[in-house]
């Protein structure tokens, strides 16, 4: 008997954001934390996912085939609150320039056997990833402890077979008050980016450039440090990067662009400037400043974390790296200013960037070409850089002059769901990868295909099932007749299996069934059924009036669709401070996290997910208005109990002292600050809470709908 998806159909083709002149189709869905894409000459799209899967997507039919799983170190759902390997995994992919001939590809991943990230070449054999074909090119030692993050990992080929790789500073950013993480104290190396991004003899916090060969790689001319230069690495093309995301190479000039995810300080202080994200441009090798400068070369002073004293201010013309952890040059190359920079609040220089959380990315450079099938922009927009932001869900078009200088920018796309990667195809269309609704553990990542709007909308299609007889319902916006074709994917094999509105499935080993509706002008709608994996139904959350901003205490009217029952439905609104690092959800302070682990409380409780006991967030929300909550919960810890959250009893916590219990309960109840919720209804209103202590310009409201056995829905709206 077939194990069918609970969500029997999903229309993958919906023109949802439709910026003027463009239309979007979803050619793949159900992706799990997808990280990067690479386009094959035949039009296929290859996708890597954070936990190790390599996928091939055939856009014309929506086929998604798993080519193999690379063993990697990564944060897993079983230990979602772990402080280990926070941003590790399968991070980047680039197909060989001769991929159609040699079936080679390059992967950058967190090795499971050593404390390092590895760049390797692999070969596909009979359409599958051959793990035995691995040829290691580079191994970059990394740290994975104590919330160390920033791995970057984007790969891209430029002219003459040159391969670019972005690497993060591999540093804990949470211990330096949102300014430069340059803690040179003993045993604080994991919070010191001077050892990595600011080190000319280290490959972290860089953009590397090499030329792969049959047995390794060569160093091309023009990198930052010639081979043989003392205390340097010749692979470095750009240094001084924090978390450089999504490399893009101008196909004509070979100038490289990347988004730089910046630090979190909300305002200028004696310890340095407010945090900024950056879009960077490098026409040649150079130093882009981190951790000594940010934005348009705003300098940081050298701060002594042990003595708590502020030292010399960094000189952008000759920045110095004074760290005892520095194994490279002390005097660094002159620092370059960012191409575009913007803080959490409104940007004076680039006001169109808006405000809120930020995660900068850089996409392709558009050139108008009358000889190809598509031109997404107009002729007068020739030489336009497309940039986008993961947190803000927008993309912008940035006009460049003949010297590649900034001219002006305009909004291109809005309403995106965490845009993760963007690549331009040979026909001029764009593939846009969306990571999914959450920070980790998504199962709703998607791949969009963006083309010019030809005034003919693609048909919408859904599938229903009765006793293995599948039937489609189609709706074409122009009421055109549609051809229905059925496809079946088993492993890496995809085949057409029939036509018509109905199909009886007898293959019990297939992975996915798809119906493709094609209108008379060739536009397609695709619906898919996942056959071999239980798939949760997805909730849909609508906010009345589609507000651009919401203020403290305002009333929000909502509606939720897709819940099997309203009984266990929870609608929550949470204030998000202006920091991209908060997008993962409520967190306990580090000292309380460590204390809870020492006392073994984590064995039965997690911050957001119910396990043996209720989540700490559910406890906080239940008791947030109870003046006696601290005393009551302290007694519960002392005596134990059962029946409030279920039948499983909580034993007395005799190992926790009275002082520790006060600290733990205060931290747990603090999770509810800036939050409110409504339970048990599909339509209603939720009143936003008053301003929390973390309120600041650039914040946002995160509104979620959750229910057991459903994929949650989430939307984010800027705070007033």
Based on the fold, state whether residues 417 and 441 are members of the same structural domain. yes
447 and 588 housed in the same domain: no
Tokens of 112: 């499971």
| Cα–Cα dist 661/639, whole Å | 12
pLDDT along the chain (720 residues), means of 10: 33 45 90 97 97 96 95 89 91 98 98 96 96 98 94 97 98 94 96 98 98 97 98 98 96 97 94 97 98 98 97 98 98 98 94 91 96 95 97 94 97 92 97 90 92 86 88 91 93 91 84 92 88 72 92 94 87 83 65 64 59 71 79 72 53 67 81 88 94 86 86 86
Residues 6+ positions from 591 with CB-CB distance below 8 Å: none
Please indicate, yes or no, if residue 164 is contained in any of the structural domains: yes
- Relative to beta strand 537-538, strand 493-499 is unpaired
* CA 236 from centre of chain: 25
Q: Could you give the CA distance from residue 57 to residue 55 in angstroms, rounded to a whole number?
A: 7
The phi and psi torsions of 439 (rounded to 5 degrees) equal: -85, -35
Do 176 and 281 have their domain in common? yes
Tokens representing 637 are 């810890």
- Give the number of domains in the chain: 3
Q: Which residues contact 497 (CB under 8 A, 6 or more apart)?
A: 486, 487, 488, 503
CATH code of the domain containing 545: 1.10.760.10
- By 3-state DSSP, what share of the chain in percent is helix, strand and coil, each rounded to 5? 10, 40, 50
Same domain as 466, residue 404: no
For residue 520, being part of any structural domain is answered with: yes
Shared domain for 381 and 477, answered yes or no, is no
Looking at residue 629, its pLDDT comes to: 75
Say whether both 564 and 512 belong to one domain. no
Same-domain status, 680 and 591: yes
Q: Are 291 and 198 in contact (CB under 8 A)?
A: yes
What's the predicted TM-score (pTM) here? 0.83
pLDDT at 591: 75
Q: So what's the pLDDT on residue 603?
A: 42
What tokens were used for 34? 């997808």
Domain that holds residue 470: 1-17+455-490+506-535
**Are 526 and 659 within one domain?**
no
Residue 498 in domain: no
Question: DSSP 3-state assignment of 13?
Answer: coil
Confirm whether 385 is domain-assigned. Answer: yes
**Beta-sheet pairing, 384-389 with 394-400:** antiparallel
């Amino acid at each position: 008997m077939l194990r069918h998806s609970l969500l029997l159909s999903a229309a993958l083709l919906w023109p949802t954001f439709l910026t003027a002149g463009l239309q979007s189709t979803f050619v793949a869905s159900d992706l799990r934390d997808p990280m990067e894409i690479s386009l094959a000459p035949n039009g296929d799209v290859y996708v890597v996912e954070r936990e190790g899967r390599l996928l091939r997507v055939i856009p014309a039919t929506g086929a998604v085939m798993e080519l193999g799983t690379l063993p990697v170190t990564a944060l897993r759902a079983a230990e979602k609150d772990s402080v280990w390997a926070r941003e590790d995994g399968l991070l980047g992919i680039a197909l060989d320039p001769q991929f159609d001939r040699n079936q080679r590809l390059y992967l950058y991943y967190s090795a499971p056997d050593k404390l390092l990230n590895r760049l390797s070449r692999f070969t596909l054999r009979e359409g599958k990833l051959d793990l035995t074909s691995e040829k290691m090119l580079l191994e970059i030692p990394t740290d994975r402890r104590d919330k160390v993050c920033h791995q970057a990992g984007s790969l891209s080929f430029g002219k003459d077979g040159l391969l670019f790789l972005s690497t993060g500073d591999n540093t804990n950013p949470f211990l330096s008050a949102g300014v430069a993480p340059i803690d040179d104290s003993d045993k604080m190396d994991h919070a010191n980016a001077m050892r990595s991004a600011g080190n000319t003899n280290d490959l972290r916090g860089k953009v590397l450039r090499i030329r792969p060969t049959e047995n390794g790689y060569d160093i091309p001319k023009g990198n930052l440090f010639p081979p043989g230069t003392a205390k340097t690495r010749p692979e470095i093309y750009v240094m001084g990067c924090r978390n450089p995301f999504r490399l893009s190479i101008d196909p004509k000039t070979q100038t490289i662009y990347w988004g730089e995810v910046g630090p979190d300080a909300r305002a200028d202080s004696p310890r340095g400037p407010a945090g900024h994200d950056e879009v960077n441009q490098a026409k040649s090798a150079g130093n882009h400043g981190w951790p000594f400068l940010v934005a348009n070369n705003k300098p940081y002073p050298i701060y002594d974390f042990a003595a708590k004293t502020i030292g010399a201010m960094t000189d952008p013309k000759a920045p110095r790296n004074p760290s005892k952890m520095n194994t490279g040059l002390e005097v660094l190359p002159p620092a370059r200013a960012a191409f575009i920079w913007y803080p959490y609040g409104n940007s004076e220089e680039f006001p169109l960037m808006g405000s809120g959380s930020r995660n900068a990315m850089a996409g392709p450079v558009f050139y108008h070409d009358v000889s190809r099938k598509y031109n997404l922009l107009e002729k007068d927009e020739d030489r336009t850089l497309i940039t986008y932001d993961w947190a803000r869900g927008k993309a912008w078009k940035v006009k460049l002059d003949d010297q590649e200088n900034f001219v002006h920018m305009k909004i291109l796309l809005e309403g995106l769901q965490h845009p993760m990667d963007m690549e331009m195809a040979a026909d001029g269309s764009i593939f846009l990868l969306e990571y999914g609704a959450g920070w980790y553990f998504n199962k709703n990542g998607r791949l969009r295909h963006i083309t010019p709007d030809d005034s003919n909308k693609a048909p919408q299609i859904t599938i229903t099932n009765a006793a293995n007889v599948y039937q489609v319902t189609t709706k074409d916006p122009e009421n055109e007749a549609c051809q229905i074709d059925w496809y079946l994917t088993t492993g890496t094999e995809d085949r057409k299996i029939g036509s018509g509105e109905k199909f009886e499935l007898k293959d019990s080993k297939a992975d996915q069934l798809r119906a493709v509706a094609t209108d008379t002008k060739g536009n397609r709608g695709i619906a898919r059924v996942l056959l071999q994996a239980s798939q949760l139904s997805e909730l849909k959350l609508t906010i009345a009036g589609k507000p651009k901003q919401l203020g403290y205490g305002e009333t929000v009217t909502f509606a939720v669709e897709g819940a099997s029952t309203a009984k266990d439905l929870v609608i929550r609104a949470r204030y998000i401070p202006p920091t991209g690092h908060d997008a993962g959800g409520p967190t306990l302070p580090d000292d309380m996290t460590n204390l809870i682990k020492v006392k073994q409380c984590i064995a039965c409780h997690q911050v957001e997910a119910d396990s043996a006991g209720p989540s700490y967030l559910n406890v906080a929300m239940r008791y947030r208005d109870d003046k006696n909550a601290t005393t009551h919960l302290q007694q519960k810890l002392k005596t134990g109990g059962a029946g409030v959250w279920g039948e499983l009893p909580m034993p007395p916590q005799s190992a926790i002292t009275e002082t520790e219990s006060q600290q733990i309960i205060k931290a747990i109840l603090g999770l509810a600050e800036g939050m409110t919720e409504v339970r048990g209804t599909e339509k209603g209103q939720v009143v936003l809470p008053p301003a929390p202590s973390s309120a600041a310009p650039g914040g946002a409201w995160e509104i979620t709908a959750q229910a057991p056995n459903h994929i949650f829905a989430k939307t984010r709206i800027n705070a007033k």
